[in-house]
Structure 1
Amino acid sequence: MTVVEATLARIPQPYRDKAIHHRELIKFLMVGGSTWVIDTVVFLLLKTTVLDSKPVTAKVMAVLVATMVSYVLNREWSFRTRGGRERHHEAALFFLISGVGVAVYSAPLWISRYVLELQEPFVSLVTQEFSDFVAGQIVGTLVGMAFRWWAFRRFVWPAQFVRRQPPPA
């Protein structure tokens, strides 16, 4: 029995049926949570050291690192029942969509900093840092995840390539 099957067996009915039905989404969200931690650590590390005056650049670099990890985890776990494309075609689509995702993820931080001017000297350092975190790590992540969920299922691993697996016993 796999870890996922063991975990599903512990969920009471009728929630178990819902979890099984949405298994792919749950795995995607778990990968997203893991890569969010990676993204956050890299972003905060870069933003507080070598890229302290360039928060958007720090965010883009953090998203790129998290995206590389995301490809491996999504390919091998979240969407493992999907296939049918050659690996290089699939990877190219994944990284193309993820490139658009970088813009989607970064847009709230850019708007916060440069449109709303939530940066020093217009606001306090505490307000700037809080705004950066909310815009970059919460709003950006939620909007970016929704976009990537839709785009990955539509273009990278579409329904036409789903390999059905029997439900767990």
Structure 2
Amino acid sequence: MNKISRSNRGILRAVVVVGAALSLAAGAGVAGADTGSGATGSGVIDTGSGILGDLLDTGSGILGGGSSSGSSETVQQCNRSTKSGGAGVTNTTHQLGKTGPTSFVLTYETFNIPDRIQVFYEGGQVLDTGYVGDNTNQGTGSRVVSLPAGSSTTVSVRVTGPNDTQWEYTVNCPS
């Protein structure tokens, strides 16, 4: 039987915890954002879907520092469109490249089925569109999102939508 180092045991525990969280999330109807990134895998963990790789291999060096395979990712750069993750709740973290205070423009299209878009910075909500989208304006809009002083260079966007929803949005890079 092989001995597992203390640091590798920690990684294995993280894999088990993330696997359990993914199972719970799948059962709760949580969907991933389809970014169409086409990124290649790091080869460290090949789950086929890229979801586990996204959660563990975010460039931090924990499991090789490469990008993940698949079309879903938990962190993406600003100025990239995020497309519908389907019914339920979709959470995506966006790298802005700047800390607060700063601002950026969020553009969105929720089409004719209302969806709710929330933006969070350092755990606090900085924007809530409420449910937007109908047959009249198709949910087309944009908002300037102002971030308070802080040390994080990322924001989290949560989109909540019902069955048959389609939406897309872009977190534009701060100018």
Task: Calculate the TM-score normalised by the size of structure 1.
Answer: 0.27
Structure 1 or 2, whichever has the larger Rg, is 1
From the two aligned structures, give the one with the greater strand fraction: 2
Task: Calculate the TM-score normalised by the size of structure 2.
Answer: 0.27
From the two aligned structures, give the one with the greater helix fraction: 1
